[in-house]
Chain A
Amino acid sequence: TVGCVAVDGEGNLAAATSTGGLVNKMVGRIGDTPIIGAGTYANKLCAVSATGKGEAIIRGTVGREVAALMEYKGLSLNEATSYVVKECTPKFTTGVIAVSASGEVAMSYNTVGMFRACATEDGYTEVGIWAGD
């Protein structure tokens, strides 16, 4: 799976995700990527793209859950993504990238690794695969 989330200087948000699915999946299987609120979600607070085991991500409504925690519980983007990845999906199933309207970036996963990269207007850049990269 691949994905990208972006916010501009005016707080406009967008999310996109694309995938081939799972190796050896059944013909006709639908994963989380095209399911709004699961593998892909964006509103006025945040934009989210997920990767991992689609069935777990759908059950966790991962994308919408991040937005709901920000909207109703007042969590920051990082707090919301960390909570969803740690508490709402089984271990070794989920990776999430997200940005908020205020320009925060979050990249969280409970798998061994996630191919990921981010950048912000203030000059921060990160490219990594495993924890500690």
Chain B
Amino acid sequence: MGWAIALHGGAGDIPRSMPSNRLEPRKAALHYCLQIGVEALKAGRSPLDVVELVVCALEDNPNFNAGKGSVLTGKGTVEMEACIMDGNTKSCGAVSGVSTVKNAISLARLVMEKTPHIYLGFEGAEEFAREQGIEVVDSSHFITLENIERLKQAKEANRVQIDFTQPIHQELKDGPKGDQIG
């Protein structure tokens, strides 16, 4: 049937009333990142290269919750996670708790290709990133004013919340349950 590609930029309680100045940049980014992937597939790049390329573009866009624009922990810090997997070989690589790696997905691919392991986290992942010479930045690179405000709102509502969810809509009366439900 030929090549195919799909991408996402997060899910949640996305309000249909989202103002156009917040909505349009996200729609434009979806179009842009899709085009990057389509062109790469047309050029004969491997699916593994394509998904890394597209996710890097999404990470670099501050309108989505990954890389630049990552949401904040309760302490106001950034802890990013990423994973990549090759269907043919089931080779895979994952990282958690990275705070200075510009593109966590590229670090995950290095874990897959350059280590005997599948998953590195926190200090070990950061140390591996430096060993590999992957681009690192100050963690302030990832923090946006919008996400500082979102953290403030979430703390006021005593909630943890998924992408784009409006804290006031999900406030519970009996404490900080948040996503511990399921």
Q: B66-87, CB under 8 A of A: which get 1 and which 0?
A: 1101111111011111111111
Q: Is B21 an interface residue (CB 8 A)?
A: no
Among residues 104 to 147 in chain B, which have CB atoms less than 8 Å away from a CB atom of chain A? 104-105, 108, 118-119, 121-122, 142, 147
Query: B122: which A residues are within 8 A, CB to CB?
Result: 28
| CB atoms of A14 and B87 under 8 A apart | yes
Chain B nearest Cβ from A9, distance in angstroms: 5
Taking CB as reference atom, which chain B residue is nearest A5? Answer: B6
In the bound assembly, the distance between CA atoms of A78 and B172 in angstroms comes to 34
- CB contacts under 8 Å to A, within B50-107, are 50-52, 54-55, 58-59, 64-67, 69-75, 77-88, 90, 92, 94-97, 104-105
* Residues of A69-124 contacting chain B, CB below 8 A: 90, 92-95, 97-99, 101-107, 109, 111-122
Residue from the list A2, A22, A36 in contact with B92, Cβ < 8 A: A36
Given the contacts A2-B65, A6-B37, A16 and B82 also touching, CB distance less than 8 Å: yes
Pick the contact of A47: B37, B85, B159, B182 (CB < 8 A).
B85
Give the docked Cα–Cα distance between A114 and B64 (Å): 12
The reply to whether A6 and B10 contact each other, CB–CB distance below 8 Å, is no
Distance of A18 Cα from B101 Cα, bound (Å): 12
| CB <8 Å contact, A6 and B41 | yes
- Contact between chains at B50 and A6 (CB < 8 Å): yes
Are A95 and B97 in contact, with the CB atoms below 8 A? no
| A100 to B138 CA separation, bound complex (whole angstroms) | 38
The residue on A at minimum CB distance from B77 is A27
Cross-chain contact A6 with B71 (CB below 8 angstroms): no
A125 and B34 in contact, given A1-B66, A42-B85, A105-B6 (Cβ under 8 angstroms): yes
| B168 proximity list for chain A (CB < 8 A) | none
A125 to chain B, nearest CB (A): 7
Q: Which residues of A contact B38 (CB under 8 A)?
A: 119
Chain A residues in 8 Å Cβ range of B52: 16
Q: Which residues of B contact A104 (CB under 8 A)?
A: 1, 4
Interface residue ranges, B against A (CB under 8 Å): 1-16, 23, 26-27, 30-31, 33-34, 37-38, 41, 44, 46-48, 50-52, 54-55, 58-59, 64-67, 69-75, 77-88, 90, 92, 94-97, 104-105, 108, 118-119, 121-122, 142, 147, 150-151, 154-155, 159-164, 167, 178-182
3 residue pairs, one from A and one from B, having the closest CB atoms: A20-B70, A121-B2, A103-B1
